[in-house]
Structures are given as structure tokens and as C-alpha cells.
Structure 1
Amino acid sequence: MSQNKMGGMEKKGSHGERTKGGLITMPFIFANEACEKLAVVGFSANMITYLTQQMHLPLTKAANTITNFSGTASLTPLLGAFISDAYAGRFWTITVASILWQMGMTSLTISAVLPQLRPPPCKGEHQVCQEADGGQLAILYGSLLLTALGAGGIRPCVVAFGADQFDETNPKEKTKTWNFFNWYYFVMGASILVAVTVLVYIQDNVGWGWGLGIPTTAMFLSIITFVVGYPLYRNLDPVGSPFTRLLQVCVAASKKRNLRMVSDPNLLYENDELDASISAAGKLLHTNELKFLDKAAIVTEEDDIKSSQAPNLWRLNTVHRVEELKSVIRMGPIWASGILLITAYAQQGTFSLQQAQTMDRRLIKSFQIPAGSMTVFSMSSMLITIALYDRLLIRVARRFTGLERGITFLQRMWIGFVISILATLVAGFVEVKRKQAASAYGLVNSSHSTIPISVLWLVPQYSLHGIAEAFMSIGHLEFFYDQSPESMKSTGSALFWTAIAFGNFVSTFLVSLVHKYSAGPDGSNWLPDDNLNKGKLENFYWLITLLQVVNLIYYSFCAKFYTFKPIQIRMKEVDTSEEDGLIQLSSRV
């Protein structure tokens, strides 16, 4: 029997003994992610309705509350990734974060059930409403903060933890890692689909207590399921703070900034033993970009590397550690390009939903689709696109490109950007059509009347956003996982979520800016608080379209000149002979 442990990851040998990880762990991991999405989307998809109709907040304040919450929930993954990579490991980070999420959802459910935690119903013929007071908002915001902290531990770790279950050094499992991102997003999309249909319907027609209580219960069950799967998981041990290592390289390069660069990169400091715990899955090789950082690996007499002790890492670093920092820096421009796509996508939960509330939402005489359930069209188109991409498009593209994954993740992102531009362009024309209908029926001044135009006019923009996400978001996620340093996979996944965070914050900033500077002396506004029919939402959509066109040009430039990290990976070649069953390792770059 042979055992080989690399970086805390348990590897077992042959003779019929089952290796940890693999497909058998997916139900336990996906159950946790599905319930987290069921809970967050079950509330956030219809949150604009809850905030405006239950808490009686003005439209722009409610819209900004949603994007601020979404942004915070997407920013906390940096904290969760740091804790996971440095101290706790992915399993325990996910477990504790799930408990925090459970506490937040329980608090939200209680606030929805107890009437004293909400303002009284609107009164009179003119629906005079009292806005939620400070105490009621404090409970709401406190609950949202707990769920945001929980999301911070779940989101960056679940995707990395799931990918950890497939050993990339094993040729038989490498392709499964690529497929995993499609499966992950498909499961996430399916749970969102349930949330925006079943849960939103319950919230609108049965009550918010049931609408929040169901996902709260589902989250509790998912925590139990995830923990039960512990004996099956392949776990990586934390290897210390990645941020400390990055800072050490910066400090060392700064101290040696006046040194002349060595003529031969082979003279830079290497220490495989020192880097063993952070390069078990692959050693980063030297690149010619950002050469000023290479000075952190120049050996001087003061460094005393002949000593048996490790060098002072605040003065001298290995090439691998320098390349870790270079990898993170190189990902920056690609990371930034994803922000505006999220800004465009965020409007589905705010202004697109408000459009739907003013339109005829009857699909048949006896059924009216809730406005918060319109996301079903974006989720459905996303799921269909993912299935077609994974089962068909990859195989077709492979014949033309010769690439195992069909197209690169950078090409996949580019396609998503283009489709997102079409989505917001179409949204502007649909808003023009909606306002024309309101004018034709004399309903421009009636903010609460239903305009006799079918809500299905919104389907194209929702569907295009779903297709764009299937290409861009999954490509973005693949990019961060693949290009992150091997010991910083959670941190890489966190970068994906921080792009979402900044996208939501940019949306908040853009809405506030447009609301302030589009106001006319006659009280007109592109984004009015009280009556969308009097606004110019189409101009806002076209402004986002223009910004996305500029962003696409920027992304194309960044993608063209992006340098992929060079890595030396020891690929496993399993000897199937019955003599010793040993795993032989070979090096490939």
C-alpha cells in the first residue's frame, strides 16, 4: 500500500481502496450551495417589493438598499477566503459561515412574522404610508449583515472546495474540474429558479413568514447534510496567510529596489523545500513581466542563504512567491472588466422589476406571474445555455480550435460581454414601448394602475441577461480559479465575488448620480421615486449600454495582452500493474 500526502491532501493508493473526493462528494457540496442560493435569492429577488410595500421605503432608497446589500454580501468573501486559506481550511469556514447565514435568515423570518417589527399598513384612499422607523430598519439591516457575513464564508469556499475534490494532477480527473464549474453554476441557477418562482409566489400570495421560513428551514437541513459528508471529502490544509506572503514580496522588492537586475533569471532564489506546502499542486515558473518584483528574489550577502534556517522572507523571496504576486496583479484588469456587467445585471432586481409591476402580468386568465418571478426567464435561459454549452457547444468548438475545453475562458467572457450589451440595448427600447402604451391609455399620471401591455415584452432582456451570465460569469469564475496561485484558490474565488460587489456598488453610485443630475426644474427625473411612467428609464438603460461598449473595448485590449501563468505540474500516471500499485510522478509544464 502506498500513500502520498501533498499539501495536506490525502491520496490513497490502489488495491481497490476508495480515494477520497470525486463525484460522490458533489451532492453534499451542491446541497449547501443550493440552499444558500435558495435563501438569498428567495428574499433578494423580491426584496424590492418587501422594502417598498412592507417597509414603505422610497423606490430609489429601496433600490440602493438592495444593491448595497448585494455588494456587501459579495465583498465579505475576501474575509472568508483569507480565513480559509490562512487558518481554518475550506470545510470549517463553510460550516461556520452556514451557521451565521442560518442566524441571519432566522432573524429575517421573525421580523417578517411579528407586525411590530414592520411599519403599519398604508391608510386611506390615497394610500398614506409610514416609512419604517430606525429600530425596524436596524433589525432588518442587522439580519442582512449576518447573511452577508455567512455568504462571505460560503461563496469563495464552496466553489474551490468542490474543485478540490477533483485531482488536477490526475489526467483522468483534470477534465472533470472544467466541467465542475458548469455543474456548479447549473445547480446554483436551478435553485435560483425555484426561489424566483415558488418562493416569490408564496411571499406574494401566502405571506412573507412562509416565504422566508421555507428557505430558512432548507438552510438548516443543508448544514446537516454538508457536515455528514465530512468523511468523504478531500481536504486541503491551510498553508498560512496568502496576504502576508504577497506583502513580504512587496517589502522585499522595495528594500532591494536600487539593486541591478541579474542578467540570468536562473540566478534568482529558488527553494523547493521552503515552497513545498504552497506549491504541492504546481510550481510557478519565472515570467518577464513586472520585473521590478523580481528584485525580491535577488540574493545578496546579507541574506545568508547558506544557513540551515529559512531566509528572512521580508528581505528575500523565492521565484514561486514572487510569481504568486505577479499572478494576482495580472488578474486585476480582467477582474475590473467584470464590474459593469454586474451593474447591468443588477437592474433586473430593481428597475426591471418595477417595470413588471406596472404591466399586465396575466399569463392565463387565472394566473398572474409575480413581478419578482420575472427572473425565471433569465435563469431558464442561463440553465439552457449552460446545458447546451457543456453537452454540445464545447464539442463543436473543439473541432475548430483544438482546445480540450472548446474555447478559452477569456473568449467565453468576451461573448458574454457582447450579449450583455444587447440586453441593455433591448431593455431601453422595451421601456419606450411600455411608456407609449401608458400614454395611449391615459395612464401616465397613474402610478398604481396596470398598463395594458403584456409583461412578456420584458422576456427578451431577461433572457439575454441569462445567456450573458452563462458565458461571462462562468468564464470569469474559471479564470480566477485557474489563474490564481495554487495556494490561493479561495482567494481567487473571492475575487469573482468582489467583482460582483463592486458591480452592485457602481450600480448604487450610478443610480444616485443619475437621480440627482437628471432632475429638471419642473420636477422631472430619469428615475423618479413615485411614478416610473413619468421618468426616462430608457435613457438610463442606454447609458449603461454605452458604458458597456467602452468596457468591451477595454476588456478586448486586456485579454489580448494577458499572460497566462506558467506552471510546472507533476501529473500522475497510475501504473496499473499488480506488482506494487505505486503512483509514478512525471513533470509537465
Structure 2
Amino acid sequence: MDNSQAPERIVNGHEETKLSAQQKPSKGGWRSAIFVIFVEVAERFSYYGVSGNLITYLTNVLGQPTATAAKNVNIWSGVSMVSPILGAIVADAYLGRFKTIIISSIIYFMGMLLLTLSVSVASLRHHQSIFFLALYIISIGEGGHKPCVQAFAADQFNDDLPQEKAAKSSFFNWWYSGIVSGASVSLIFVVYVQDSIGWGTAYAILAAAVAAALGLFLMGIPTYRRQEPLGSPFVRVAQVLVASVRKRRVDATHSDFRVCSEDWEVGGHANGQSGFKTLARTTQFRFLDKALIVDNIDASSKTRNHWRLCPVNQVEEVKLLLRLVPIWLTSLMFTIVFAQLSTYFTKQGSTMIRSINGSRFQIPAASLQAVNGITIVFFTVIYDRILVPVTRKITGHPSGITILQRMGIGHFISIFTMIIAGVMEAKRVRVARQHGLIDSPKSTVPMRVWWLLPQYISCGTSLVFTVVGMQELFYDQIPEGMRSMGAAAYISTVGVGSFLSSAVISIVQAISSRTGHQWLVDNLNRAHLYYFYWMLAGLSALNLCFFLWFAKGFEYKKIEWNDPNEEEKISPNGYYNNGRR
């Protein structure tokens, strides 16, 4: 038997094999990930074909007021981005990522078919309930698709193989660049079809893209690495919290206290192997360490009560989650800024000159979001091929800068995005006033739409830093058995940010109306949208201060290789003595 192919250990429900230098993995790697990337490109093509111009359909076809339409867009986007939390739970605990992707893609396709019918069939065209039902069926499909696809693609890279571990860092850059490319093509092509040919034709194209994506995903089945579901991660989290509370009065300072290790069982080594990986002990959230302590009740029991005594690895997993909470919270302000892209940025552009060199062709206002996507694709290449190698030489860090440093730069740039947007909007209103168009909201303001490019470019640049950083952070720093939840956590910031954006709009409307000078009204020439943008810039600056404070104290995940052949004192019941690792 070739020992180089013998299983090293069992991790997350599958065998990991130690390969010789000459061998290559039979599955996984870029050849598998590329299938999944193209699937996500097609899905983003479909999603942005719906969301990118949705405010136009709601205002121009369904006749909703601008503020109401903006809130409806934000709420739908919010549901679409929060539902992945439920999808991640189902994937991690029950179905696995592979099956969840297939089922959710079918649901997504059904939603796109209903959406196409709701705008094509005359008897359904003005039934808002059918239209919104289709939208929220798509949200359900998003819930299963979004958290699993990214994590499933990243799973194709094995951290134990140096070449694949190095490829994973670049994977997140190219992953985001790919999905932005799909979104950008949709915002240019599909939005044009919507405005010039018809909504039914456009949505039929999107439904076909979803079907093609599912077929492409199935083609890659022979090459995929799969991980089986491990059971509900929330039970493991709850066990640590309950055990910590039950032992809150136990003294953990005594020199003879013992802690539990899941990696060792009574009378033997883990899985019969000579070594294993585990999370390193950390000093943060010391109250959770109470769950590790073996008291008299535990010592006298023949079996371990999981709600009284938890191993080091399980406790450290909960600490990982708690460390990510402040980062998640301070990322919400960034997503509020991002939410303006498909709402008020689009409405700004719709009031301006959008023809090219005096031709009759009008650039759809929603297509300007493609500038944001083009910026992301262009700057991703610069970041991955130029900035990372240069900063790597300076800092010695494999990725040039840390993940949180990358996110912090993105937060900083987002402040200027809102400042620039406010300046451009103030200029647009000034031009409208100079030409007597203040009370003519449907008239075109004699100002080229290209004036809005700086705010789109600034937003795209900030996304390269912040969003890609968030994707990598919430995949890398989450426990391995909860990586779908990690993707869902990142996606949910966009969803919650959309909800908060709607709430902020409502609050601003309520407060500004009392002063007699409403900031957000249907007539943008009479509105004070620039005040709203500058307010968001101020809130973003305040949020950056909190982010930097939390980032300064953040501890990245550390992995230890434990060798039982080293001198360790182990009690007969399988527990470490003195808490030594």
C-alpha cells in the first residue's frame, strides 16, 4: 500500500490525505472553483438585472413615489441578503453546501419565471402582489445560494497544500472581480433591454441565465470536493454558553484545575493518529474558559455532559464568533452607503443629460452602476498584481496588508464617496436653479451624467478593499464547520444595511418635514439630497473610529499542531492537567 495516500485525519466529515510532492489532488483546486465562479457570475447577472433598475419599474410602471420605491428596493434587497443566514444553517447542519446550491437554484429559477410572467401577461401586469411574490421567491433562492456558493468554491482549496493555500488568497480577489463582471454586463445590457425593448424580454433573459448556471454547476460534479453537514453549529455555541454560566462560580485560578480536550478520548488518541490540529488557547473572553474546567461532578461522571463541560476547541470556536461581532456591526455603515448606489444615485442620473455626442441614444441611468463594476475589475487587477507584491516586500505579510487593514482603507474611502456625491448633487441642483427647472422635475437638467462618475469610481474602489476583505475575513476566521454561516454573515451586512438605509430615509423624512424643508422628496430639484449624503459621510467617519478601535484589539485565528508524543500530563479520564496545551 502507498503510505503517501493514507488518510492523515478526519476533518469536517471528510478524509484529508497527506500527498507526496509529485502527486496532485484528484479533485478540487482552480479547475473545480472555476465552475463555481461561473455559476456565481450568472447568478449575479440575474440578480442585478432585477435589482439594478428595480426603482425605475416601481416608479415608472407601478407609479410608486420615489421615497416609497427606494424603501421597497431596500427592504427587498435586505431580505435577499439576510435570508442567507437561514440558508447557511440548513446547509451546515442538514443538507450540505452542494445539495443546498442545487435546491436553491431551482427555487431561484421558479421566481424568475413568475417575475417574467408578471410583467408579460396582460392580466397580471398591474397586480403588484404577483410581482412582489416573485421577488421574494427569488429572495428565498438567494438565501440558499449566496452563502453556499462562495464557501463551496473556497472549499476546493486545501489549506494543507501550500500551493492551494496561496491560491486561496488570490481566489477571493478574482471571485469578487468575476461576480462584479457579471453584474456590470447585466447593468449595461439587461437594463438597456428593459428600457428600450421590454421588461418581459429582459426578465426572460435573466431566467435563462439562471437555468444555464444550474446546468454549468452540474457539469462540474466529478471534480468537486464536498463536505458533509456536521449538525447544528448553534448547539455547540449554546453548550459553551450554558456550561460557562453553570460554572460561573468555579475558581479557575487554582494551579491544579483541569481542562477538557475533545481531541482526546478515554484511553486513546484522537482517531488513532499521532497528531492533529486544534485552535490555540486565547486570553480574550476569559469568562468562557469556565466551560473548560473539570469540577467534582465532571470528574466523577463516566461520560461527559456536553452542557457542563466543553473542550478547548469548542470554546475557542465561540470566541472566534464573538470576535467577529464588532467587525460585523461596524461594517453596517459601509453597506448603508453602498445601498445608495441602486436608489438615489440612479435617480440622480435619470434627471441629467444621458445622450452620447448629441445622439438619440440615451444611457439608462441604472447602467451607470456598471462604472462601479468596471472600477472594481480594473482595481482588483492592480491590487492583486501590483499592490500586494509591493506591500508584501515592505511588511513581510503574505497578503501585503492584513485583512482588517484592507477593510479599514475601504471604510475610509467610503467617506469620500459620500462627500463627492453630495458635492455633485449640490452642483446639479444649482444648475437646475440657474435654468429655472426647480419646479420641473421631469425636465432634463442641462448637466452631463458624466459628472457622477467620480462618486461611482470612489464607491467601486472602496468595495475592492472592504467587501473582498469582509469575504476573506468571514471565511477564514469562522470555525471550519460554520463556513456557510461565515459567508451568510458577510452577506447579511448588506441586507441589514439595506434595512437601515430604509430606516434612515424614514427618520430623515420625519425630522426634515418638521422643519419645513424636506430633504427627500419626489422632486429632486427641490430636495436636499446633498444634505443626506453629507450626513452619511459624517456617520461613516464616526463609524470608522469605532472600527479602528475594535480592529486594534482583534486576535486572528491561530492553529496549533498537537503531538501526543510530547510530554503532556493526561489524567486517566482523558483530560489535560493544569490547562497546558
Per the normalisation by structure 2, the TM-score is: 0.91
The offset of 1:521, in angstroms, is: 6.5
User: Aligned residue for 2:415?
Assistant: 421
The answer to which of 381-390 and 22-31 deviates more is 22-31
Question: 2:407 aligned with 1:403, yes or no?
Answer: no
SS of 2:560's partner is strand
Look up the match of 2:14.
9
Measure the CA separation in 1 of the matches of 2:468 and 2:401: 13
- SS in structure 1 at match of 2:14: coil
Superposed, 1:146-161 pairs within 5 Å as 146-161=137-152
Shift of 1:262: 3.9
Aligned to 1:218: 209
> Structure 1 pair 174/435, CA: closer, same or farther in 2 (3 Å)?
same
Q: Is the 8 A contact 2:119 2:131 kept in 1?
A: no
CA RMSD of aligned residues (A): 2.1
In structure 2, do the counterparts of structure 1 residues 567 and 266 end up closer, same or farther at CA, with 3 Å as the change threshold?
farther
Structure 2: runs of 5+ lacking an equivalent: 564-580
The answer to whether 1:546 aligns with 2:546 is no
Cα offsets for 1:54-112 (capped at 9, x unmatched):
11111111100111111111111111111111111111111111111111111111111
**Separation (CA, whole Å) in 2 of partners of 1:176 and 1:353:** 37
Distance 1:226 1:246 in 2: 33
Distance 1:326 1:219, change over 3 A: same
Q: Distance in 2 between matches of 1:281 and 1:185?
A: 33
1:285 deviates by 1.8
| Cα gap change, 1:55 to 1:184, in 2 (>3 Å) | same
Q: Which residue of 2 aligns with 1:261?
A: 252
Q: Report the CA distance shift for 1:85/1:70 in structure 2 as closer, same or farther (over 3 A).
A: same
Aligned partner of 2:373 among 368, 376, 379: 379
Counterpart among 474, 484, 500 of residue 480 in structure 1:
474
Q: Which of residues 531, 535, 543 in structure 1 aligns to 2:527?
A: 535
Separation of aligned partners in 2, 1:305 and 1:386:
58
2:519 alignment partner in structure 1: 526
282 and 438 in structure 1: CA distance in 2 versus 1, 3 angstrom threshold: farther
Paired position in structure 1 for 2:570: none
Q: Offset of 1:563 from its aligned partner?
A: 1.4
- The 3-state SS of whatever aligns with 1:442 is coil
Aligned partner of 1:293 in structure 2 is 288
- Deviation per CA, 1:144-187, whole angstroms, max 9, x where unpaired? 21111111111111111111101001112111111110111011
Distance in 2 (alpha carbons) for counterparts of 1:281 and 1:44: 46
In structure 2, C-alpha distance between the alignment counterparts of 1:264 and 1:88, rounded to whole Å:
45
CA distance in 2, matches of 1:29, 1:77: 17
CA separation of 1:463/1:305 partners in 2, compared to 1, >3 Å: closer, same or farther?
farther
1:563 corresponds to which residue? 555
The 3 A distance-change label for structure 1 pair 17 and 171 is closer
- Is the contact between residue 358 and residue 448 of structure 1 (CA under 8 Å) also seen in structure 2? yes
Unaligned ranges ≥5, structure 1: 120-135, 572-588
Q: Are positions 1:30 and 2:25 aligned together? A: no
Note if 1:247 corresponds to 2:238.
Answer: yes
Question: What does residue 584 of structure 1 align with?
Answer: none
Q: Distance in 2 between matches of 1:94 and 1:41?
A: 19
Residue matched to 1:283: 278
Give the letter for the 1:160 counterpart. Answer: A
Q: What residue in structure 1 maps to residue 100 of structure 2?
A: 93
Amino acid at match of 2:422: G
The 2-side partners of 1:518 and 1:300 are apart by 60
Distance (Å, rounded) in 2 between the aligned partners of 1:537 and 1:206:
32
Task: For residue 493 of structure 1, report the CA deviation from its aligned partner.
Answer: 1.2
CA distance in 1, matches of 2:277, 2:119: 50
Partner amino acid, structure 1, of 2:148: C
Structure 2 CA distance, aligned partners of 1:488 and 1:470?
Answer: 25
Normalised TM-score (structure 1): 0.90
2:229 counterpart SS class? coil
Which stretch of the first structure deviates more once superposed, 513-522 or 19-28?
A: 513-522
Does the Cα contact within 8 Å between 1:54 and 1:118 map onto a contact in 2? Answer: no
Q: CA deviation at 1:288?
A: 1.0
Change (3 A) 1:103 1:260: same
Work out the CA distance in 1 between the residues paired with 2:38 and 2:379.
22
Report SS of the residue matched to 1:488. Answer: helix
Corresponding residue SS for 1:363:
coil
Find the residue that maps to 2:446 and give its secondary structure: strand
Does 2:166 align with 1:175?
Answer: yes
CA distance in 2, matches of 1:375, 1:292: 47
* Aligned counterpart, 1:391: 385
Deviation at 1:501, TM superposition (A): 1.3
Q: Distance in 2 between matches of 1:305 and 1:145?
A: 54
Q: Are 1:245 and 1:321, in contact at CA under 8 Å, matched by a contact in 2? A: yes
Match of 1:576 in 2: none
Match status 1:345 vs 2:338: yes
1:351/1:570 Cα in 2 relative to 1: closer, same or farther (>3 Å)? farther
Secondary structure at 2:525's aligned position in 1?
Answer: helix
Counterpart position of 1:469:
463
2:449 to 438, 448, 455: 455
Conserved? CA contact 1:11–1:20, under 8 Å: no
Give the secondary-structure state (helix, strand or coil) at the position aligned to 2:356. Answer: strand
1:440 aligned partner: 434
Aligned to 1:190: 181
Q: Give the conservation status (yes or no) of the 8 Å contact 1:281–1:486.
A: no
Structure 1, residues 218-262: CA drift from partner, whole Å, max 9, x if none? 110111111221121011111111111001111111111111114
